[in-house]
Structure 1
């Protein structure tokens, strides 16, 4: 479990996060808490908390260090917008009358992302004193950078220390940030010494990118809920979906034919190709059950051998064996294969409900209000942005963007 920092300035009722005509202004604390609510939802449905903790341990952290870093991770989500305490942001961006006559509001810029990183780092610096200070500083620095960039994209960290030191927050946030006390912050080159303190650099990269993605997702969802009065539901495959899918698949003529072939090897005597397809189908299922905990399975077969039917059967078996698996992605190198697979899937699953095709050809799946039947464009956009569907059929281009893209709309 995590512990959120108790910061007095965050509790002020006169500090807003968002406004909307005809609705009560959202306080900064309300938005921060709503972001954490969405983080908890992602943990419940996607196991984000377990993934984060595993990544932290893979970085070579002991239990005490891991607990601190996990708190840092969650608080980065909680405090990603705390820079909105900036009087200039309140007065000029939100038209908050409480700050209209505040002289400070017109003396500094109205940015909030970099001030958020500054305040976050300032609040955590005293909490990482001790033998592990240097190691923890790498995480703190990286997490702060994710906060600073949460409305843009990730790039290299050159100059980030200077940006922090030149951030004009002293006029509205009284605590100073002295980065010279910590050797990794003395020069930007200090950050390149990460290899001495972080056991697995890839795990560290994934952790930081996951934080950036989680901040972005929780912020988007929380903001959309306030603006549109609709809670964003995280789409997963539930037990009802699975039961229907399994029945639909087993009612199909291909599955029935394979079952008959399994009972009588002469069933496809006049069609050797179907006998071969059936053997592949049955053998792949047998191998899956033989190694149920493996992470990668490889099936090589020529065109027309029934790989898509195989994949559907294997997918249903995996979902049955591993209830924690609740989303499926089909990834293809070409859009023609995406379209062909979608056609096969439609035999058993409802397009735009059970699965969505995400590529440059297919339009965004439109979410409609149950009562009014009106299209909710914001919800539909978020669904596409986050691939928020039980099953996704997409291309390598999108897949690699998910893995390595650095923009807030790619993570």
Structure 2
């Protein structure tokens, strides 16, 4: 008899092995800490059986000898290589399994979970067609090895404490072996859970199927991590106990007060799914923490800097030992925050294992799983007893929004709860969620602070806008210029001691404006002009974010009188708690504009019928209108919106679709007419999105009635006048395609209350046509998802969700230094070897973070690994660097620590976006 190993690891000093019986026992031990969260006994029993059977295929000689180096194993063979998980099913007595499961309801779920708990791309070669290697192995086991391998399994499994309960299930399945020998394909025996071209998956996957596979994968992965780290004593930490609800309430109470709106709004709603619509800076985060109700929850945000900020806040409520964080560079963030590498690794791994009761994350860590790539079951099994917070949904593009709504549907069906939070809820998203959830009004509670606090919010005016039409000096979207008088105006605001925020839509334009400001500024102002965008190296960006955001912290002190200017792109748009006095911004869609405005006079916030100034704690009763911009010196407009007459915005449609920009301007014009838009919103809310005539009603009931005056007497490209009669054919399209009407909005000034912002954005989204450019992308993506499309790889799903159009590059001018730092890093690691698990993280910190920067997609770039002249005695370093540098290229564009990546004018690529 030969001992069967489940895992082995070797280094120069130690050899570590884990037997199969030990591993199965560990996985079952892990499941004990999860099964207490499951109410379905049949599901519990099926999962235990799947765990017990999942690694039977490791009995194969080639796996033991070739993969695990179990050189004393018998019988001896290194030729017949078949994935062990696939071969596990050939050791299951199907009839006994049916008896154990009390029928066939869970039979296919268990078999599929066992066969595919480790999915590999090469599985197609074994499951979807006849495979000669598999056929020969099946014949060899029947003719020669069967009894020997059966004895190996029996001897190994006897060491498991509850072996007697399941031992009859483990028997050589000669019937299935013979069926493979006779030409049957493996997917007829075990239905694959992935890939669109497998017919069963074009239909909806059964909830219990997902849960059996997901719990098996989660427990297997966690047990393996504990074994590899020598932390078997932590097997029970797969689910760390959450913080007590009363302790959470108490902690938040000290911050917001017991009568705060969050406590009132959540009264009798803690067990509900919730859609929360509330103004920016209104305390949505505290609401989410309270809604967690002392249960496991995930909190998602669209950008990493917002995740880092929320993570630090969450630790203050839930505790360091109960709060995890996830995003693509979180290992580096944690390493920079902590001195002990072992602590960093533990925090990082426990978050990846989903063990923390509170996990703060970017959306791209979870939402791509709506595309059902391999391993999606693990996340959804965990979500079946968890809560999910989705913050700032308006910040995602329409394709991502479609994927998120599909994710919400799957979450709801699997048994989890969701909280959708936003300052500006797109109507098409809410409508879709209503369609997906039966008995929506019973299952989902809408908490709309705008409606609840309307009589107060319609009296609060923090922002006064001025729309400014600027004549374009060029036909190129890549070479925008801001007139000198506007540069002077920005500088003049800073000279008055104001914090000035300038938000441009492209990196190239932001760099240009920053350089102009620096050239014309003098004295102290010149040293207080900052630039922030996404085309910096990680190191430079982190330093700038920390220092610049600190300079614009919320609230602004009453004693601060030194002017400063922050020039940026959309990276400051959402979730950053900065406080400016005045904003100069390019036009953008209304919801994004409201987010940008939310960075201005953020120190003023509403609570319990009063406006409070955090700078000096002054309180203002709302018995009459409160205009915050008039409380500041001058009372002038504090939001200046630039519209470029022909191109509208730098970057053209690559940044924001023309449809969204033009309709945003049209609605701002409508607001300037001081019509009762609240009544119009009520009318629009009656329109049904599934009405076949929806677009026609939007055109006839809204645009033809409300916007004819805007288009009156405008000229056409043909030079003809367009009167009201022929305008009525399609006002919507005329607004989108014609620019002549823009002259009517130039110099328009608009005072916007907090409530009017809500109405404007709601109308904007509610009156987008379904066949328009923007919503077409959303509905087309939904149609594909509803057809059952699945992603074959997690990386593919992530790229689809992120809509990635950028590459990681090393500027060519830094190649020599880059190579030298790589060699220095290797020398240092070889001289003082340390934690292997953090090797890549240290490489990111010491090397990549200094040189790698994102740039827009460009054809013909050379992989950086091909430009490096690196030779190693140790082949391991060559393998590592091939992997670590696989998606990094060499760029001819110059890099400047002050300005970031600069476009090489010899190349015809688009402006740098965000």
For the aligned pair, the TM-score class normalised by the smaller chain equals 0.5 to 0.7
Cα deviation, residue 35, structure 1: 1.1
Match of 2:5 in 1: 16
Cα deviation, residue 219, structure 1: 2.3
With normalisation by structure 1, the TM-score equals 0.63
Q: Measure the CA separation in 1 of the matches of 2:99 and 2:289.
A: 53
Q: Measure the CA separation in 1 of the matches of 2:334 and 2:303.
A: 24
Cα deviation, residue 243, structure 1: 5.0
Instruction: Give yes or no for contact 1:153–1:407 (8 Å, CA) kept in 2.
Output: no
**Partner secondary structure for residue 236 of structure 1:** coil
Q: Measure the CA separation in 1 of the matches of 2:188 and 2:93.
A: 24
Q: Measure the CA separation in 2 of the matches of 1:159 and 1:397.
A: 31
Match of 1:247 in 2: 250
Q: Does 1:309 align with 2:286?
A: yes
**Which structure ranks higher in relative contact order (CA pairs < 8 Å, sequence separation ≥ 6)?**
1
Q: Does 1:33 align with 2:25?
A: yes
Cα deviation, residue 226, structure 1: 2.9
Cα deviation, residue 32, structure 1: 1.2
Q: Measure the CA separation in 2 of the matches of 1:107 and 1:345.
A: 53
Match of 2:607 in 1: none
Instruction: Give yes or no for contact 1:224–1:378 (8 Å, CA) kept in 2.
Output: no
What is the root-mean-square deviation of aligned Cα atoms in Å? 4.4
Match of 1:269 in 2: none
Q: Does 1:234 align with 2:274?
A: no
**Partner secondary structure for residue 297 of structure 1:** strand
- Pick from 362, 380, 391: which aligns with 2:330? 362
Q: Does 1:166 align with 2:135?
A: yes
Cα deviation, residue 189, structure 1: 7.9
* Closer/same/farther in 2, CA of residues 217 and 125 from structure 1, 3 Å limit: same
With normalisation by structure 2, the TM-score equals 0.31
**Partner secondary structure for residue 172 of structure 1:** helix
* Closer/same/farther in 2, CA of residues 116 and 34 from structure 1, 3 Å limit: same
Instruction: Give yes or no for contact 1:365–1:380 (8 Å, CA) kept in 2.
Output: no
Match of 1:330 in 2: 299
**Partner secondary structure for residue 394 of structure 1:** strand
- Pick from 92, 96, 118: which aligns with 2:70? 96
Match of 1:178 in 2: 175
Instruction: Give yes or no for contact 2:49–2:110 (8 Å, CA) kept in 1.
Output: no
Identify unmatched segments of 5+ residues in structure 1: 1-11, 54-65, 263-277, 320-324
Match of 2:225 in 1: 224
Q: Measure the CA separation in 1 of the matches of 2:265 and 2:175.
A: 60
Match of 1:4 in 2: none
Q: Measure the CA separation in 2 of the matches of 1:190 and 1:161.
A: 13
- Bigger-Rg structure (1/2): 2
* Closer/same/farther in 2, CA of residues 162 and 139 from structure 1, 3 Å limit: farther
Cα deviation, residue 71, structure 1: 4.0
* Closer/same/farther in 2, CA of residues 91 and 345 from structure 1, 3 Å limit: closer
What aligned pairs does 1:285-324 form with structure 2 within 5 A after superposition?
A: 285-286=266-267, 289=268, 291-294=269-272, 296-315=273-292, 318-319=293-294
Q: Measure the CA separation in 2 of the matches of 1:88 and 1:346.
A: 48
**Partner secondary structure for residue 288 of structure 2:** helix
More displaced stretch, 304-313 vs 152-161: 152-161
Q: Measure the CA separation in 1 of the matches of 2:301 and 2:124.
A: 31
Instruction: Give yes or no for contact 1:72–1:140 (8 Å, CA) kept in 2.
Output: yes
Cα deviation, residue 229, structure 1: 2.0
Cα deviation, residue 90, structure 1: 1.9
Instruction: Give yes or no for contact 2:50–2:110 (8 Å, CA) kept in 1.
Output: no
Q: Measure the CA separation in 2 of the matches of 1:140 and 1:354.
A: 33
Instruction: Give yes or no for contact 2:307–2:360 (8 Å, CA) kept in 1.
Output: yes
Q: Measure the CA separation in 2 of the matches of 1:227 and 1:187.
A: 32
Report Cα offsets for 1:108-156 as digits up to 9, x if no partner.
Answer: 226422212332xx323454389x9775553354334324xx1537999
Q: Does 1:207 align with 2:208?
A: yes
Q: Measure the CA separation in 2 of the matches of 1:158 and 1:94.
A: 22
Q: Measure the CA separation in 1 of the matches of 2:44 and 2:289.
A: 37
Instruction: Give yes or no for contact 1:354–1:389 (8 Å, CA) kept in 2.
Output: yes
